[in-house]
């Protein structure tokens, strides 16, 4: 497909952030959305939403619904944020201050960064894939889904950044082998796909999390797919997967947060074992799960605004209620270089 050139000039200094729904002026009543950070392994949390001060007014993203959070490949102090209504943001100091990343409106639930040239960033909104080659100063639409299907995930191959994978809500996996210049349909699993995950050690291994129909795996870079749902299908709600987590150090060990509960696989998803928590299986949906890459006995998961933590591989659990928000935690990420630091992104339905 011929690339469609649509340049969006990001005038970060001249263009004021007017009309962005997540931009708010803080008053005596603090809005409890956006991003939260813990520097002590999830024990205590602080809201991190500041953009800038204008005289007595504080401009922030304290009303943002967070769609995705991604760390810079080289400098983990730099964090990219996709919101579900109000565009992209970036922080260069671990969330202490945020700035617009060139797109000030729209829903963005996927971001992928070229690991060799980090000024190249891909994202998607609606049926379009967007790319910046100049660190967010300008953006261009490089793909429009011909059937107007939603693009749900964009993933750069870590070993060959010229190859970019994407998925659609219709279940198709498309790829570009020339940095997004042209695209071809690679395969289809004929199920609604919510997100793709590439194995960081072997990018031929790709996982596709579907919309309520479990998880699938390709071992040949997306050409063929196999179901990994044999064990999950024996548990009511287990194929409704809300989060997948694995560490770069051992990506063959997978964790799932599902409507049934937590699951772990030690063989790349072929077999799954339920993880015991304080809740009976099937009683409450678990939204996220995160694992310490240096110590997989330390696991966190979230239900609503509550964080649950184990340091002994689920033998015991601690309930943490220190996130200063009444919103649902739907994003949970660990600092790749400092596992004591965690970030949470929140969501609440906007009032009509």
Q: Which of 311, 216, 299 is nearest to 255 (CA)?
A: 299
SS3 for 15-56 is CCCCCCCCCEECCCCCCCCCEEEECCCCCCCEECCEEEEECC
Q: pLDDT by residue (tens digit) across 213-257?
A: 999 999 999 999 999 999 999 999 999 999 999 998 899 999 999
Q: List, for the chain, all residue ranges whose pLDDT scores fall below the cut of 70.
A: 1-29, 351-352
Does any domain span residue 86? Answer: no
Specify the pLDDT at position 9. Answer: 35
Residue 285 lies in a domain: no
Per-residue confidence (pLDDT) for residue 10, from 0 to 100? 37
d(CA 125, CA 159): 25
The total of structural domains in the chain comes to 1
144-202: pLDDT as tens digits: 999 999 999 999 999 999 999 999 999 999 999 999 999 999 999 999 999 999 999 99
pLDDT recorded at residue 351: 63
Structural domain includes residue 324: no
For 208, the domain range is 109-227
284 domain residue, yes or no: no
Contact 59, 322 (CB under 8 A): no
CATH code of 214's domain: 2.130.10.10
**Res 349: pLDDT:** 82
Structural domain contains residue 311: no
269 inside domain: no
Would 349 be classed as within a structural domain? no
CA dist 165 and 152 (Å) reads 11
Could you tell me if residue 240 is inside a domain? no
Q: Is 232 helix (H, G, I), strand (E, B) or coil?
A: helix
253/267 Cα distance (integer angstroms) = 6
């Amino acid at each position: 497909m011929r690339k469609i050139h649509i340049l969006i000039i990001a005038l970060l200094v001249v263009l004021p952030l007017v009309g962005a729904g997540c931009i708010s002026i803080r008053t005596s009543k603090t809005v409890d959305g956006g991003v939260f950070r813990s520097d002590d392994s999830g024990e205590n949390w602080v809201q991190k939403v500041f953009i800038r001060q204008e005289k007595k007014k504080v401009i922030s993203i304290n009303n943002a619904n967070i769609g995705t959070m991604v760390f810079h490949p080289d400098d983990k102090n730099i964090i990219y944020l996709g919101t579900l209504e109000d565009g992209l943001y970036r922080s260069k100091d671990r969330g202490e201050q945020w700035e617009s990343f060139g797109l000030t409106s729209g829903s963005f639930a996927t971001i992928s960064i070229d690991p060799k040239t980090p000024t190249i960033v891909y994202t998607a909104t609606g049926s379009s894939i967007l790319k910046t080659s100049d660190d967010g100063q300008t953006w261009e639409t490089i793909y429009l889904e011909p059937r107007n299907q939603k693009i749900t995930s964009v993933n750069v191959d870590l070993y060959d950044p010229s190859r970019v994978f994407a998925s659609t809500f219709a279940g198709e996996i498309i790829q570009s082998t020339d940095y997004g210049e042209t695209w071809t349909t690679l395969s289809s699993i004929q199920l609604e796909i919510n997100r793709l995950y590439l194995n960081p050690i072997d990018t031929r291994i790709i996982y596709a999390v579907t919309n309520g129909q479990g998880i699938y795996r390709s071992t040949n870079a997306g050409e063929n797919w196999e179901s990994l749902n044999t064990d999950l299908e024996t548990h009511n709600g287990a194929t409704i997967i809300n989060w997948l987590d694995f560490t770069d150090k051992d990506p063959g060990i997978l964790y799932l947060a599902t409507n049934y509960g937590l699951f772990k696989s030690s063989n790349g998803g072929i077999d799954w074992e339920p993880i015991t928590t304080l809740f009976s299986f099937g009683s409450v949906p678990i939204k996220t799960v995160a694992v310490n890459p240096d110590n997989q006995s330390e696991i966190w998961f979230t239900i609503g605004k509550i964080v649950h933590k184990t340091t002994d591989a689920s033998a015991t659990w601690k309930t943490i209620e220190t996130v200063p928000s009444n919103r649902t935690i739907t994003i949970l990420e660990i600092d790749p270089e400092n596992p004591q630091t965690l970030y949470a992104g929140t969501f609440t339905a906007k009032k009509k």
